[in-house]
Chain A
Amino acid sequence: MFTYTLPILVIPALMFIFLGLMDNKFKPMTSGILGTIGLGIVAILSYIAAYDYFFSVGLIDGIYQKIIAFNFEWLKITEHLHIDLGILLDPISVMMLVVISTVSLMVHIYSFGYMNGERGFQRYYALLSLFTFSMLGLVVATNIFQMYIFWELVGVSSYSLIGFYYTKKSAIAASKKAFIVTRFADFFFLVGILLVSFYSETFDFISLTNPENNELIMKTAGLSFLGISVLSWGMMLIFMGGVGKSAMLPFHIWLPDAMEGPTPVSALIHAATMVVAGVFLVARLFPVYYLGTPEVLTIIAYIGAITSLFAAIVACTQTDIKRVLAFSTISQIAYMITSLGVSGLAGHEGLGYMASMFHLFTHAFFKALLFLGAGAVIHAVHSNEMSAMGGLNKYLKITNITFLIACLAIAGIPPFSGFFSKDEILVAAFHSDKILFACLYFCAGLTAFYMFRLYFNIFWNDNNKEYEHTPHEAPFVMTFPLIFLATLTCVCGFIPFSHYVSADAMPFETHINWAIASASIGVALIGIGIATKMYFKKSEIPDKVADTVKGLYTSAYHKFYFDEIWVFVTKRIIFEGISRPIAWFDRHVVDGFMNGLSWTTNFVSQKTKNLQSGLVQDYVTIFIGGALVIVLIMILI
């Protein structure tokens, strides 16, 4: 039935190999067009798959089925455990297919304009294909190990794309940081997989997440380690992988730096798709979390809420527009994580799950839009700093409007898509935990504030700013994706999402809870209002405000010193504290011991060598001495 989904994976993979091997043998445009055509096909196939799944095949007996479109055994590890590669279609993976292929297609098109004339244009498209392939493989994974495989692959393609400008020092450092931090988290993920798979004796998602009669939960019942049940350990460790990829506290540090990559890449990888892998992971294993380890789910919710608040505060102080967006991404992903954390499994209980996925869906579009818009701005003024911008509404008409739409969406103003998904999240949080709700609610206000701070600083504020080169609107290849995504942002909020995606795969009805909705609109408007007051016109207010909360402002500006802590840990503890002593120990103690052995041998032989002086008299002395000793012995006996 769904065998046509196989090309969705195969085309980008082949495209990567093809473009990668050809590299400079193609003209830049040829590579770009080939890549884009390939992705266009992937997108179309994804839409067809989504249509088929949701409207004709997927729903059987009121439940969306998990359909394995394709599966083969890649590596047999033990009798029970084998790594398969395959395609699993269920509501969330199909939804992700649509999101990824759409955003990726837009980014492909957009890059024609943005990356035009860059050295390594072919390589760029090859890597985009690699990323798309890996990300698609991740979401359709039939088993947790396949997910881990593609998880690593997206990591490496993200690494290569962040380090695309490999002659720039900061880009190299950022790419390295991104890879190593996520790798560190993946280590926990891997241990978690090992632990869980040992008890479940399967990697397969379908058997792992089977809500009834779950073998994993039964087998691990009663087993505990350090007072915490083994399953909790396993699921917590797996979640750590998600923490790394989705840039939750305390592994968020790589994401702001990852903005060193080309802006379309940030839009694709670090806003819309890869960073939500953590959310997707939790959603994928949601039944296990909910049934087996509800306490881990609570931890997840709190990590999400704290991260969300933290990132929102930091976002208010950053001046690099891409970093503001990066922190906003962290904050929004944390929203989704929290929402998953407060969710239940069945029916309306599962609102959080649905909301999380819904927010993932809408966020992908409007955040990609924001990044691409920021890209257009950067393209126009050749800088990332807010101080270099202002009054751009005169020059960049389309960008201005699309950016405003995205800002309204993320701030949660109806009728834009962000409003609907955010509202569901707030409702879910409200019904589960008031502290979390307060946290998220406050965040919603902050979000509106910093997004409009960003918006005004770019497009209004200093209306009379002089530019060396007059900024000009981006070419059509760049504005088209903006318009397209803006359209999506406007309409996709009206999708009855709960009809398609839910925790127990059964469609249910949701209604907007107007009490909470109006409260959230209210706080968003307040945020926008403050931002307007402070930033719409050039004024002294921001500086004054910054002065009054100086301590908070400074530490938020320095991202609460997380980077410094990590630098301390890596440089001082790992490099200086572990690696250097080990290198020293190896050279001087272990090797010293071996050299000492040889030195001792040498020394002894040097000394004994003198017995063999070559002087006859010495030999005779010893000879006679020996004879005398023998005589003496004979006398004594």
Chain B
Amino acid sequence: MAEQIIFYILAAVIVVFSILSVTSKRILRSATYLLFVLIATAGLYFMLDYEFLAGVQISVYAGGILVLFVFSILLTSHAGDKEKPRHWGRLLAAALTAVVGFGLCLYIILNNVFKVANQIWQEPTMQQVGQTLMGTDKNQYLLPFEAISILLLACIIGGIMIARKR
């Protein structure tokens, strides 16, 4: 019961703040609302017993990315800047797309019968995570890991190149 209450609270936070985040006129508030959404998501991970993921979520997203966002917002806008509303047609089109998409997905979700596994759940240990990440067997992820590493490297270099003053 408590689990459900917590879930609904988290769900409410996610829904409300994500909507606020995309509708707020002030960009810094958007970023703040986004922070709440990300933290609530981390909460969901906790509920699903993925403590490691939740940690990553909070440290990388909430701690890293969002800080980047806040910095760049401070760099590119001035206090009290308000975004001008866009053409109603575009807003309508966007809303329509979102609503229709949501409707379709909802329909699919509700009509699909999920075969929930009855297996006993064991939280993956750190050792397990590390080995899976570094192994080369079936269902192990060394190659993607390396690919991501290269991607990150490329991003670092690219970021430096792009942001560099000319």
Contact = CB atoms under 8 A, between A and B. Distances in A.
Q: Do A and B have CB atoms closer than 8 angstroms in the complex?
A: yes
Interface of A: 617, 621, 624-625, 628, 631-632, 635
A508 B27 CA distance: 126
A635 B94 contact: no
B93 A621 contact: yes
B107 A624 contact: no
Contacts of A628: 97, 100-101, 104
7 contacts: A617-B90, A617-B94, A621-B97, A625-B97, A631-B104, A631-B108, A635-B104
A127 B81 CA distance: 94
Interface in B67-106: 90, 93-94, 97, 100-101, 104
A621 B101 contact: no
Given A621-B93, A621-B94, A632 B101 contact: no
A259 B84 CA distance: 88
A631 B109 CA distance: 13
Contact of A635 (B93, B97, B108): B108
A624 B97 contact: yes
Contacts of B100: 628
A118 B107 CA distance: 106
Given A621-B97, A624-B97, A632 B90 contact: no
Contacts of B107: 635
A631 B94 CA distance: 18
Nearest to A615: B90
Contacts of A624: 97, 101
A632 B93 CA distance: 18
A624 B104 CA distance: 12
A627 to B, nearest CB: 8
Nearest to A617: B90
A613 to B, nearest CB: 11
A191 B104 CA distance: 81
Contacts of A625: 97
Nearest to A625: B97
B100 to A, nearest CB: 6
Interface of B is mostly: helix
A51 B109 CA distance: 124
Interface in B109-146: none
A570 B99 CA distance: 75
B94 to A, nearest CB: 7
A637 to B, nearest CB: 14
Interface centre among B93, B97, B108 (most CB of A within 10 A): B97
A240 B108 CA distance: 92
A631 B102 CA distance: 12
A533 B93 CA distance: 107
A628 B106 CA distance: 13
A632 B104 contact: yes
B61 to A, nearest CB: 23
A549 to B, nearest CB: 88
B105 to A, nearest CB: 8
A625 B100 CA distance: 9
Nearest to B108: A635
A617 B97 CA distance: 12
A372 B100 CA distance: 104
Which 4 pairs show the lowest CB-CB distances between chains A and B? A624-B97, A628-B101, A631-B104, A621-B93
Contacts of B101: 624, 628
B149 to A, nearest CB: 29
Contacts of A617: 90, 94
A248 B67 CA distance: 109
A628 B93 CA distance: 13
A184 B104 CA distance: 82
B103 to A, nearest CB: 9
B92 to A, nearest CB: 11
Contacts of A631: 104, 108
A620 to B, nearest CB: 9
B90 to A, nearest CB: 7
Nearest to B100: A628
B15 to A, nearest CB: 20
Nearest to A632: B104
A173 B93 CA distance: 74
A624 B100 CA distance: 10
A336 to B, nearest CB: 90
Nearest to B107: A635
Contacts of B90: 617
A132 to B, nearest CB: 87
Contacts of B93: 621
Contacts of B94: 617, 621
A631 B101 CA distance: 9
Given A624-B101, A628-B101, A632-B104, 15 more contacts: A617-B90, A617-B94, A621-B93, A621-B94, A621-B97, A624-B97, A625-B97, A628-B97, A628-B100, A628-B104, A631-B104, A631-B108, A635-B104, A635-B107, A635-B108
A299 B6 CA distance: 120
A359 B94 CA distance: 103
Contacts of B104: 628, 631-632, 635
A617 B90 CA distance: 9
B108 to A, nearest CB: 7
A109 B146 CA distance: 117
Nearest to A623: B97
A632 B103 CA distance: 10
B23 to A, nearest CB: 16
A395 to B, nearest CB: 100
B152 to A, nearest CB: 25
A503 B100 CA distance: 104
A625 B98 CA distance: 9
Nearest to B94: A621
A152 B140 CA distance: 103
B107 to A, nearest CB: 7
A633 to B, nearest CB: 11
A320 to B, nearest CB: 83
Contacts of A632: 104
A625 B108 CA distance: 17
A335 B3 CA distance: 131
Contacts of A635: 104, 107-108
A635 B107 CA distance: 9
Nearest to B86: A617
A621 B101 CA distance: 11
A408 to B, nearest CB: 103
Interface in B13-60: none
A631 B108 CA distance: 10
A607 B90 CA distance: 18
A439 B103 CA distance: 106
B97 to A, nearest CB: 5
A35 to B, nearest CB: 89
